[in-house]
Amino acid sequence: MESVHPAWWKEAVVYQIYPRSFKDSNGDGIGDLNGIREKLDYLKDLGVDVLWLNPIYQSPNVDNGYDISDYRDIMTDFGTMADFDALLADVHAHGLKLIMDLVVNHSSDQHPWFIESRSSRDNPKRDYYIWKDPAPDGGAPNNWRSCFSGSAWKYDEKTGQYYLHLFAEGQPDLNWENPEVRDQVFDMMNFWFQKGIDGFRMDVISMISKAGYADGPLCADGLYGDYTDQCTNGPRVHEYLQEMNRRVLSHYDCMTVGENANVNPELACLYAGEDRHELNMVFQFELMDVDGGESRKWEPEHPWKLTDIKKIQTRWQTGLDGKAWNSLYWNNHDQPRVVSRFGCTKDEESRVRSAKMLAVCLYLMQGTPYIYQGEELGMTNKHFDSIDPINDVMTRNAYFEKTQRCGESVADFMKAANYISREHTRTPMHWDDTANAGFTTGTPWIPLNPNYPQINAAKQVGDPDSVYSFYRRLLALRKSDKTFVYGHYALLLPDDEEIYAYTRTLNDEQILVVCNFTDHDVPCPLLNDWQNTELLISNYNTPGNPGSLRPFEAVVYRK
């Protein structure tokens, strides 16, 4: 037998919950902790193992909870600490685990630390954040653009200095160089572990160490510079994570996943290498940039090529094999819906078929799958006619900067937003076809996708042909054979623009996964070699023509 490095979090499937939009239990239009509790049976039946909750801490909600004003309290909108304790107990009683979002690159500007820090230059908490003098002309200390548009620096009248905010103004960056900040963060993490949580997803964790504060290369529009080189993978990031591991993580049987902008497989092996004592795995962004979705986000054109998806995934699959561990995701609260992006929504048949195919393609690779709420129903992007109904701070700020300062047309911006905006995955979950999709009895905090009467959980749970039922079967299949977890990956047909085919091999067992990404029949002669092997799953109920794939067909064989 081959030696793999077994771990429960490698065998687990994660389900991501965006609490604000999952289920409202008290009619105020906002999803909440008790709402999540109501749905634990649904999640258990689906076959997931771990729930990841987007931030549920006290927050003024400039960025929907990613701006935390109290790390040890629950957001009033979501409930109380007693509700949290009850939820955690219930999650565990269901045999599930729960991981929290850890947002410690920055806090809210309403956090008591920041309120003190900005109160005077000699306040003991001044050094909790990153304060710099104005440039000689009085302007910002450097040319960096915030991830949410505009300068990354905000001038504070009272003390005559600027503070750094790589995200919104209400999200000042914490100064990790200050050992007291690290003490505070590690204490807070221990507080949650002592409550019994099972791990953390670490927000923009590759940004906690800054290399310097020089101007960055000018962005294409010439307005600002890019901070990426100086703010990701900084000189002390591994030291900080190893310290975190020593002081916190190593004391618990937990799982960790870092959100790592700007990593490649080699860097991932530093963050999540088997012998590194840092994190268990990272979220990579290369796949999310295959269509320019990261680097050219607000440009109207986003074509992608299957061969590029294959190149990226294959580099990660082979680059981490035996050394580190992959996380597998198609979408999350920062990305649009996968079936709209890489599948096909031109008609119901294509939507259902391609949603299933995409699940087969990614979730049978080596790594831990992350399913985003509603993905298991094949939920789609929503169409936005204008910026008005959009809540997301990133999309709104970019809209004003691009259309008012850069002279981009509204039509071009809305085209991009309709493709890539974070808003698409933040509309409420579709539970049934009653008013507001059963999400709330009140007025939803954000408008729903109007297609909920067609696409909803109630309709799909009992339907054996639904996307939901297929996800259930697929997750059960993944669990039934360790080759899906630990097997080595090898790409077939690297130059094919229509078919994604790969094998997984462990000891003397081999599995073949073949997916047709097109809406037409495609010849696939390699299937002939597998004709007499065991068909494990398919998204069609009847056999097709030998050596050929039907539209969006996905098949998996074992020999």
Contacts of 180-189 with CB under 8 Å at 24 or more apart are: 180/127, 180/128, 181/128, 182/240, 182/243, 182/244, 184/113, 185/104, 185/244, 186/243, 186/244, 186/247, 186/248, 188/71, 188/72, 189/102, 189/244, 189/248, 189/249
Shortest distance, position 32 Cβ to Ca ion, whole Å: 4
Q: Which of 515, 494, 490, 493 is nearest to 503 (CA)?
A: 490
Shortest distance, position 173 Cβ to ligand GLC, whole Å: 10
Residue nearest to Ca ion (CB): 32
CB 369 within 8 A of CB 13: yes
What's the token pair of residue 9? 């979090």
Binding site for ligand GLC (CB under 6 A): 63, 66, 103, 167, 203-204, 259, 333-334
Q: Which of 222, 223, 287 is nearest to 260 (CA)?
A: 287
Closer of 107 and 380 to ligand GLC (Cβ): 107
Active-site position among 203, 392, 401, 553: 203
Q: Name 97's bridge partners.
A: 50
- Assess 291 for contact with Ca ion (CB under 5 A): no
Interface with Ca ion (CB under 5 A), residue from 4, 11, 28, 350: 28
**Class of residue 386 by CB neighbours under 10 A (exposed 0-12, middle 13-18, buried 19+):** exposed
- Assess 30 for contact with Ca ion (CB under 5 A): yes
Closer of 372 and 486 to ligand GLC (Cβ): 372
Shortest distance, position 111 Cβ to ligand GLC, whole Å: 14
Q: CA angle at residue 453 from 451 to 454, to 5 degrees?
A: 70
- Assess 83 for contact with Ca ion (CB under 5 A): no
Active-site position among 259, 278, 334, 408: 259
Closer of 63 and 553 to ligand GLC (Cβ): 63
What's the token pair of residue 553? 């067909």
How far, in Å, CA of 511 to CA of 235, rounded?
41
403: DSSP letter: I
β-pairing, 499-506 vs 509-516, is antiparallel
How far, in Å, CA of 216 to CA of 224, rounded?
8
Interface with Ca ion (CB under 5 A), residue from 12, 16, 24, 394: 24
Residue 13 host element (H or E) = none
Closer of 52 and 500 to ligand GLC (Cβ): 52
Residue nearest to ligand GLC (CB): 66
Shortest distance, position 439 Cβ to ligand GLC, whole Å: 20
How far, in Å, CA of 153 to CA of 79, rounded?
34
Instruction: Examine the residue annotation and report whether 101 is marked as an active-site residue of this protein.
Output: no
Shortest distance, position 16 Cβ to ligand GLC, whole Å: 10
Closer of 198 and 203 to ligand GLC (Cβ): 203
Interface with Ca ion (CB under 5 A), residue from 14, 16, 23, 32: 32
Closer of 204 and 485 to ligand GLC (Cβ): 204
Residue 286 binding result from ligand GLC, Ca ion, none, given CB thresholds of 5 to 8 Å by partner type: none
- Assess 173 for contact with Ca ion (CB under 5 A): no
Instruction: Examine the residue annotation and report whether 41 is marked as an active-site residue of this protein.
Output: no
3-state class (DSSP) for residue 102: strand
CB 279 within 8 A of CB 270: no
Closer of 49 and 203 to ligand GLC (Cβ): 203
Interface with Ca ion (CB under 5 A), residue from 5, 6, 8, 26: 26
Shortest distance, position 70 Cβ to ligand GLC, whole Å: 16
- Assess 38 for contact with Ca ion (CB under 5 A): no
What's the token pair of residue 5? 């490095």
273: DSSP letter: -
Per CB under 5 A, the segment of 28-36, 129-137, 335-343, 549-557 that binds Ca ion is: 28-36
Per CB under 5 A, the segment of 32-40, 103-111, 235-243, 272-280 that binds Ca ion is: 32-40
Measured CA to CA in angstroms, residue 272 lies from 39, 352, 472, 477 at distances of: 32, 35, 29, 27
Shortest distance, position 459 Cβ to ligand GLC, whole Å: 30
Closer of 83 and 375 to Ca ion (Cβ): 83
Closer of 75 and 524 to Ca ion (Cβ): 75
Residue 167 binding result from ligand GLC, Ca ion, none, given CB thresholds of 5 to 8 Å by partner type: ligand GLC
Residue 263 binding result from ligand GLC, Ca ion, none, given CB thresholds of 5 to 8 Å by partner type: none
CB 475 within 8 A of CB 13: yes
Residue 111 binding result from ligand GLC, Ca ion, none, given CB thresholds of 5 to 8 Å by partner type: none
User: For the residues of 322-344, what is the DSSP string, one character each?
Assistant: TTS-BEEES--TTS--HHHHTS-
Shortest distance, position 297 Cβ to ligand GLC, whole Å: 13
CB 298 within 8 A of CB 310: no
How far, in Å, CA of 231 to CA of 151, rounded?
15
Q: How far is CA 435 from the centre of its chain?
A: 29
Q: Count CB neighbours of 303 within 10 A.
A: 8
Shortest distance, position 333 Cβ to ligand GLC, whole Å: 6
Shortest distance, position 208 Cβ to ligand GLC, whole Å: 12
Residue 278 binding result from Ca ion, ligand GLC, none, given CB thresholds of 5 to 8 Å by partner type: none
Closer of 361 and 393 to ligand GLC (Cβ): 393
Residue 203 binding result from Ca ion, ligand GLC, none, given CB thresholds of 5 to 8 Å by partner type: ligand GLC
**Class of residue 416 by CB neighbours under 10 A (exposed 0-12, middle 13-18, buried 19+):** buried
Residue 66 binding result from Ca ion, ligand GLC, none, given CB thresholds of 5 to 8 Å by partner type: ligand GLC
So which residues are the catalytic ones? 203, 259
Name the site residues for Ca ion (rule: CB under 5 A): 24, 26, 28, 30, 32
